[in-house]
Amino acid sequence: MRKIAISLGDPAGISYECAVKATEAFQPDKAYILYGEEVVLRYAKERFNPDFQYTPIRDISQVKSPGVYLISLNRVRGVAGIKPSEAAGFVAVTYLGRMSADVLRGEIDAIVTLPISKYWAKKGGKFSFPGQTEFVAFFQRVKDFAMMFYSQPLKVVLQTIHIPLREVPKSISAEGIVQKLRLIEREFERYFQKKPKIGVLGLNPHAGEGGEIGTEEVEVIKPATKRAKEEGINCEGPLVPDVAFVPQFRERFDVFLAMYHDQGLIPFKMLAFDRGVNVTLGLPVPRTSPDHGTAFDIAWKGICNPASTVEAIKLANRLAEYSQKEKLLQIKGS
């Protein structure tokens, strides 16, 4: 029996509503362990899906059969005052950490992290990471990881993640790109049983025009793709970024490597905003997340679309079959 852990994120956001609306993603042969506040989940259930069923437990060792379970520390006494705050940020970080501790015990096959507010997580939970991606990688003792955005029409991996745009040029290197290409190939073979064709985007307009509009393509990206090809990696680039996502060009590739966050995320969200999923590549225990944030402005109004959460859980179901959780036990014991 595979176990899928789901951290419910910031209680002031849409995560709890999305979770109780995502029942179509739950498979009858798997156990789903939710980490969050019971009083908040119960409120979401009563308001948005009274048919949602779960079993409260104190520890993951109590999970003996398929079903939906909840681990709650009962930090919140009521829901009347739920709003973006230090308290809500503290709750979000607390359950992310609690879930991660169970991951390290080798109890979990895949995880789904629902959105937190980085601002309130830092204010209330002393969260010191750029995002949940880096937090999860740290807890799983992984340094070689990547953020991939997954959908049927488009898959994009980011070379750099949560850094200011002005820092991108100095943050990319030929070695770093080659390392990311190796990771993409390895993870596609692990999860999807195929050797991917990877499109590597240029950094500058028109992919630099041969060095006329920036030199990163000539000095960094092209040498990286040349070296990767010599290693047998099926890649092409640097590609002109504003052409790469045109349908007839896009279909030539299984996945793209974008040089910075918005270069990859803008086209991705235009094509798959409602059903996109964030996947962290390189983890022993796979992690997915919906491709949206806390959406405080529409929280608790009954209007959130759970599609991305549904897709994140469905993909976690699939990736769980290739979990390498035993590696965490080896790391923990070393």
Q: Are residues 256 and 163 in the same domain?
A: yes
Position 125 scores a pLDDT of 87
Number of domains in the chain: 2
Task: Kindly state the tokens that stand for 262.
Answer: 């918005």
> Residue 147 falls within a domain, yes or no?
no
Q: Are residues 179 and 132 in the same domain?
A: no
Position 135 scores a pLDDT of 96
Q: Are residues 1 and 115 in the same domain?
A: yes
Q: Are 9 and 92 in contact (CB under 8 A)?
A: yes
pLDDT tens digit sequence for 36-62: 999 999 999 999 999 999 999 999 999
Q: Are residues 130 and 28 in the same domain?
A: yes
Position 193 scores a pLDDT of 95
Q: Are residues 166 and 64 in the same domain?
A: no
Give, in order, the Cα–Cα distances in Å from 192 to each of 114, 198, 273, 315, 321.
24, 14, 22, 11, 11
Task: Kindly state the tokens that stand for 290.
Answer: 């919906």
Phi, psi of 137 (to 5 degrees): -65, -40
Quote the CA–CA distance of 255 and 152 in Å, as a whole number.
11
Give, in order, the Cα–Cα distances in Å from 229 to each of 71, 181, 182, 198.
47, 10, 11, 11
Q: Are residues 176 and 259 in the same domain?
A: yes
Residue range(s) defining the domain that contains residue 318: 1-142+280-334
pLDDT tens digit sequence for 196-230: 999 999 999 999 899 999 999 999 999 999 999 99
Position 82 scores a pLDDT of 84
Q: Are 64 and 39 in contact (CB under 8 A)?
A: no
Low-confidence ranges of the chain (pLDDT < 50): none
Position 325 scores a pLDDT of 85
Position 188 scores a pLDDT of 97
> Residue 265 falls within a domain, yes or no?
yes
Which residues are CB-neighbours of 64 under 8 A, at least 6 positions away? Answer: none
Position 328 scores a pLDDT of 78
Q: Are residues 236 and 114 in the same domain?
A: no
Q: Are residues 132 and 241 in the same domain?
A: no
Q: Are residues 14 and 109 in the same domain?
A: yes
> Residue 324 falls within a domain, yes or no?
yes
Q: Are residues 44 and 180 in the same domain?
A: no
Quote the CA–CA distance of 4 and 79 in Å, as a whole number.
27
**Where among 223, 253, 274 does a domain terminate?**
274
Q: Are residues 162 and 49 in the same domain?
A: no
Position 332 scores a pLDDT of 58
Which residues are CB-neighbours of 265 under 8 A, at least 6 positions away? Answer: 149, 156, 158, 258
What's 137's domain CATH number? 3.40.718.10
